Structure 1
Amino acid sequence: MGASLSSVSAPTVWAEAMISAAPPPGCPMHQEAPPKVPPPAECPMHRAPPAEVPPPAECPMHQAPPAEASPPPECPMHKADPGPAHQERAYEFVACPMKGSEEKSDIDPSNMMPPPNQTPAPDQPFDLDRIREESTIPRHDSGNKWVYPSEQMFWNAMLRKGWRWREDDLGAQDMTNIIKIHNTNNEQAWQEILKWEAMHAGECPCGPTLKRFGGKAKDFSPRARMRHWMGHVPFNTPVINFLLFLLFLIRYELPFDRHDWIIDRCGREVRYIIDYYDGEINRENYRFSTLDVRPAVDSLGAVWDRMKVTWWRWSS
């Protein structure tokens, strides 16, 4: 029985000794916690955030938006004078597929009066068309084309020049044919001018425009007078007559009309002379006149152009 007691107390004493005994000083639990050392200054977390540097002045975001450049002063939109006043209202009488049947008012809102050139004459024997045809001729300082006169306008113009109607003179259909011949002659004249202007395509790639024109029916050009004179000078020598016949195979009478057309060749004014000679009327295309179109000899450039064309005609 004493043996059993000694065997029980021994482990108890050992356990108490284990509880009361302090751990050795080298144990980690007896060591003081090391002081917290801040990270070195060069550590990214201690660096101040970099100051925001604005982009350089030449950067697109710092440049003011460019001012909208206005068109140059020579542009058509800066021109004060758009051309003849009657042409501004001309499109009111131009027939088109959508507006040809619409009734147009003759009242001008600016003065509440009808335009005189479209008003029938008091003694007019029949009604005339007031529709105006648009040409292919570009009008200077405008995006529009020149517009031809109507039958009524043409009638009134003849009255202003002293013509008076008689029963055996003209009928309504005659006026329609006259307008078609008039418009065809002008289109033909413009095509002849474009042939001359083709020599200056590099100088004026956009092509010429017609600024103004005028009639000079009795002011015959020197060329027309010379042709007429050479065809009517009497020579008694048969040899001279034969040489003149060879030189002037086409003998002209004086032209029945003359026009001077002033065109704009990209900023430069050029004058053309157009002589109208009687010819056989073509009822299919309404060509009636033989036209002699050439630049007026009023500049060295025009003289040179005529010399070149003369050489081409003789050498071709």
Structure 2
Amino acid sequence: MGWFWASPQDGSSKPAKCPVDHNSFTGCPVDQKPASTGCPVNHNDFKPQATQVSSQPQMSGCPVDHETRSKFSWFNKPSGPDVNNNKINPLNNMPDLSSMRAPGQKLDLPTERTLSTIPRGSTNEEGVWEYPSPQQMYNAMLRKGGGEIAEDAVEPMVDIHNFLNEGAWYEILKWEQPYTKETKIEPRLLKFTGRPNDTSPRAQMLQVLGKIYPSKFGMPLPFDRHDWTVLRAQKDGQWEKVRYVIDYYCVDDEKNSEDPEFVLDVRPALDTVTSAVDRFNFWSGSVVHKALGFEQPYK
């Protein structure tokens, strides 16, 4: 399955809190479009990265309001420095984002970008994927017409986005481990795309099971979905493209609704027989190891 549960840096069992304080907002940054299943931290417009969520001041509340986000639509018109920037980069399905200060912006947002740990492209010369700066993220949300955005929430949103995507890559490395062990070549990320409005078949299935067995499978719809194209090394030195599907969940803790868990469901898409076999082996191996009392294996 490839589930990733975001936890605090100290290794305790308590999940990492979302560092977005809704009490301080003048308007929620959540995409409340009626037909949307997307997250306000608009992953469609960003590149991956990871910093520890727990390094931010401890605040409460998930940025995704699963109760009301589908009931209202009060978006402003698109604005900001990138409002007319419609040239899309095919590697990440988004435009190049400006680092310019937006008209009417009150706070100075950092323009520095951070490097991820995720190898980019097919050669070492291409380096690693680079994360957007808080200013770029803010401009991206304005470009999407995100309504009234709390400027002081942008930096923790960047941290959440980056932290979760690093977790996604960590899970992909687990799936890829047998192939890496055989070829001695690490996988690389060729491209990715956000698909917040497309619910994956697996997420749909979990919703049905949640209605039948709410205590076991009950959880909200994913607030976002990504499709990542990973390069897997072959014995002949060539790369094989493998598509991965990642569903992003924000689940409130049962004991404290202001203390959410972030959950990623990461798995190879069922595009090939090999991916289907990999998913079966991963699932069956996990069950056997759990039954024997062992820790979860890489694969």
Amino acid at match of 2:224: D
Q: In structure 1, what is the equivalent of residue 102 of structure 2?
A: 121
1:294 aligns with 2:267: yes
SS at 1:273's partner residue? strand
Post-superposition, which runs of at least 4 consecutive aligned residues in structure 1 deviate over 4 A?
A: none
Amino acid at match of 1:292: D
Deviation digits for residues 57-110 of structure 1, max 9, x if unmatched?
A: xxxxxxxxxxxxxxxxxxxxxxxxxxxxx99xxxxxxxxxxxxxxxxxxxxxxx
Distance 1:291 1:230, change over 3 A: same
1:1-316 to 2 correspondence within 5 Å?
Answer: 117-143=98-124, 144-165=127-148, 169-172=149-152, 174-233=153-212, 244=213, 249-266=216-233, 267-279=239-251, 289-316=262-289
Distance 1:270 1:208, change over 3 A: same
Deviation digits for residues 160-208 of structure 1, max 9, x if unmatched?
A: 222022xxx5242x22211111110111000000000012124432110
Q: In structure 2, what is the equivalent of residue 3 of structure 1?
A: none
Q: Distance in 1 between matches of 2:121 and 2:248?
A: 24
Q: Report deviation, 1:250.
A: 3.3
Distance 1:180 1:119, change over 3 A: same
Q: Is the 8 A contact 1:185 1:288 kept in 2?
A: no
Distance 1:219 1:162, change over 3 A: same
Q: Is the 8 A contact 1:208 1:263 kept in 2?
A: yes
Q: Is the 8 A contact 2:198 2:225 kept in 1?
A: yes
Q: Distance in 2 between matches of 1:288 and 1:297?
A: 27
Q: Is the 8 A contact 2:195 2:226 kept in 1?
A: yes
What is the RMSD of the two structures over their aligned residues, measured on CA atoms?
Answer: 2.4
Q: Is the 8 A contact 1:181 1:288 kept in 2?
A: no
Of Structure 1 and Structure 2, the greater helix share is in 1
Aligned residues with identical type, % of pairs: 40
Q: Report deviation, 1:125.
A: 2.2
Which has the greater radius of gyration?
A: 1
User: Could you tell me the TM-score, scaled by structure 1's length?
Assistant: 0.54
Q: Is the 8 A contact 2:190 2:230 kept in 1?
A: yes
SS at 1:122's partner residue? coil
Q: Is the 8 A contact 2:220 2:251 kept in 1?
A: no
Q: Distance in 1 between matches of 2:261 and 2:192?
A: 21
Q: Is the 8 A contact 2:210 2:216 kept in 1?
A: no
Q: Distance in 2 between matches of 1:116 and 1:299?
A: 35
Distance 1:140 1:288, change over 3 A: farther
**Which of 1 and 2 has higher RCO (CA within 8 Å, sep 6+)?**
2
Q: Is the 8 A contact 1:204 1:265 kept in 2?
A: no
Amino acid at match of 2:155: T
Q: Is the 8 A contact 2:122 2:231 kept in 1?
A: no
Amino acid at match of 1:159: L
Distance 1:280 1:183, change over 3 A: farther
Amino acid at match of 2:139: N
Q: In structure 2, what is the equivalent of residue 45 of structure 1?
A: none
Q: Is the 8 A contact 2:228 2:244 kept in 1?
A: yes
Give the number of aligned pairs: 184
Q: Distance in 1 between matches of 2:161 and 2:267?
A: 19
